[in-house]
Copies of this chain bind each other. A is one copy, B any other.
Amino acid sequence: MNAIHYNISAVERDTGLSKDVLRVWERRYGFPQPERDSNGDRLYPAAQVDRLRLIRRLMDQGHRPGRLLALNDEELATLHSSHKTDKPEESATIADTELGELLEPIRRHHAADFLMAMQQRLARQGMLCFVEDTIAPLTELVGMAWESGKIEVFEEHLYTELTKRLLRQAIATLPARPQGRRILLTTVPEERHSLGLLMVEAVLSIEGAHCIPLGPQMPLIEIARAAAAHQAEVVALSFSSAFPQRQIAGLLQQLETLLPAGVELWAGGAGIAKLPEIPGIHFFTTLATARQALVA
């Protein structure tokens, strides 16, 4: 009898489109067009939620909502499948590169194989090269593949989780260096990606730094408190490419006013690549430059 319906909260959760967006699209574009319950609340049929998800995905690939919402189901489907194949050389890189081959076990959902291959590589390259020349570019590759829908979300999650484990394990093998430079590592509250943080930690720890890993998503005031409590000399933050760029400068400046005097503020990650410089704050676009800053 009654098909499955979703209320607006459920759709927000499932599609990542905020309630405001769902309502304003309905008003502007006439889609989605949910039914209503006895109270006038929106009830979205599963088919519309599916379509919203597809639209969301195409938006992530760079399409604009206004266009997508004007299309019918058929055209949407065409657009979706066409994207997969219209850049042959790019999609080739994912499977054909030496790096790309490492991802094969992930795509076959075979965690153990992936770990084994990576561990072999770690042993062969040494930890520093492994992080800078394997994990960093591989993570970038995964990010690109995800953006263009070439790998599933859960495959990306699995890659991230397994790689985090590898890194933490590798870091744990390093000797403690209590006398090294005290570097506090974390991310701001909106930034939940911590893989970059771990890469930095690995590289800096190799160079003899004393890293204090607080995990991701620390409120600014707490970062400052932690810096004081741990007598950190450096606070290092990581911003992923997904982080809204325009917020970064403000966040950093605000944090700097909160930090104890004399504490350096470092920022790194793909998110800060295109950012203009800010006096008093050190930017690092690659792991190697961060490493050099430590040695200098």
Binding site for B on A (CB under 8 A): 4, 6, 10, 13-14, 16, 46, 53, 109, 111-112, 152-155, 157-158, 160-162, 164-165, 168-169, 172, 176, 178, 186, 189-190, 192, 212-215, 217-223, 225-226, 229-230, 250, 254, 257
CB distance from A200 to the nearest CB of B (A): 14
Known contacts A13-B190, A165-B168, A168-B165; is A222 also within 8 Å of B178 by CB? no
Query: Which single member of B154, B215, B230 contacts A109 (CB below 8 Å)?
Result: B230
Set B13, B178, B225: member contacting A112, Cβ < 8 A? B178
Bound together, the chains give a CA A6 to CA B225 distance in angstroms of: 19
Copies of this chain, how many? Answer: 2
Compute how far the CA of A152 lies from the CA of B221 in the bound complex, rounded to whole angstroms. 11
- 28 A-B interface contacts by CB (under 8 A): A4-B254, A6-B254, A13-B219, A13-B220, A14-B219, A109-B229, A152-B225, A152-B226, A152-B229, A153-B218, A153-B219, A154-B222, A155-B229, A157-B186, A157-B222, A157-B226, A158-B212, A158-B213, A158-B214, A158-B215, A160-B215, A161-B213, A164-B168, A164-B215, A165-B168, A168-B169, A169-B169, A192-B192
The one of B14, B213, B214 in contact with A221, judged by C-beta atoms closer than 8 angstroms, is: B14
User: How far apart are A242's CB and chain B's nearest CB, in angstroms?
Assistant: 13
Whether B221 and A53, one on each chain, are in contact in the complex, defined by CB atoms closer than 8 angstroms, is yes
Give bound CA distance, A270 to B264, whole Å: 39
| Distance of A161 Cα from B218 Cα, bound (Å) | 12
